[in-house]
Each structure stands twice: as C-alpha cells, then as structure tokens.
Amino acid sequence: MNRKVGTLTLQQFGCEVTLADTGKEAVEMVDEQLHFDLTCMDMNMPVMNGIEAAEAIRDLDHPNATTRILTMTGMAFEEDKQRCLESGMDDVVTKPFDINDLRGRVHALKNPDSEEVALSS
C-alpha cells in the first residue's frame, strides 16, 4: 500500500516512476539505466535494505552513483536518520509523510541549484 501511495504521489508531482521489487534490483537498475534524476527508496526492502542499497549505489562506477537519494521510512528516530545520511542518502522523509513537505523535498533534490535539503523532523 505504501509503495502504491508513494508512486501515485510522485506521479502527481510530474515524476516518471520506475519500480524495483527489492533493494538489490534497485541497485541493478541504477547500474543499468541511462540516467535517473532522483532515487527514492524505502528502508525496509527485501533482499537488500535501504542502507545497503544506498551504499551499493554510491560504490557503483556509473553516472547514477551520484544521483540524489531520498528515503521514505517509518523509522523516525534521529539515529535512524543519521544512519541513512551516513550511508549516502541525501534526505529522509518519515511516514506518514506530508504531501507538501514531500513535494518540496523532491523538488529540492531534483534541483541542482538547491543549496540545502532540510531533514524531516
């Protein structure tokens, strides 16, 4: 259900969404695809979790290795957010998310001229 809501929300923002079923599949897609503007992921994915996937993406020898990563998670503790950032993610949105907050974060992450991305609290 969360995946469907996230997909529909991103599509409402004008995003073209490509889905992976597992964290490992997400890493493979990022390594194979020509270009992604933004990678969104959940922390709790099968086969490879969000932190493992983010670290693997950052280790790729591919232009997508530097693509901004936004994670959506129900893990709201500050230490969880810090682990996400340390793994190479650029921002963390906690669920349930506010649609206007998510819109602003997606826009900021997709915009290379953006100087800052706020962390959710």
CA 101 to chain centre: 14
Indicate the number of domains in the chain: 1
- Over residues 24-78, the pLDDT tens digits come to 999 999 999 778 989 998 988 999 999 999 999 999 999 999 999 999 888 778 8
Residue 4 has pLDDT above 90, yes or no: no
Question: 26 lies in a domain?
Answer: yes
Question: 72 lies in a domain?
Answer: yes
Question: 119 lies in a domain?
Answer: no
- CA distance linking residue 69 with residue 91, whole number of Å: 7
pLDDT for 121 equals 32
Q: Largest alpha-carbon pair distance within the chain?
A: 35
CA separation, residue 116 to residues 9, 40, 110 (Å): 23, 18, 12
Domain of 7, CATH number, reads 3.40.50.2300
The residue range of the domain holding 10 is: 2-110
Question: 121 lies in a domain?
Answer: no
Angle CA(75)–CA(79)–CA(81) in degrees, nearest 5? 55
Q: Higher-confidence residue: 25 or 118?
A: 25
- CA distance linking residue 8 with residue 62, whole number of Å: 28
Question: 117 lies in a domain?
Answer: no
Question: 14 lies in a domain?
Answer: yes
pLDDT for 77 equals 86
pLDDT for 115 equals 47
pLDDT for 111 equals 57
Residue 85 has pLDDT above 90, yes or no: yes
pLDDT for 113 equals 53
Question: 64 lies in a domain?
Answer: yes
- Over residues 95-113, the pLDDT tens digits come to 888 889 998 898 888 755 5
pLDDT for 112 equals 57
Question: 77 lies in a domain?
Answer: yes
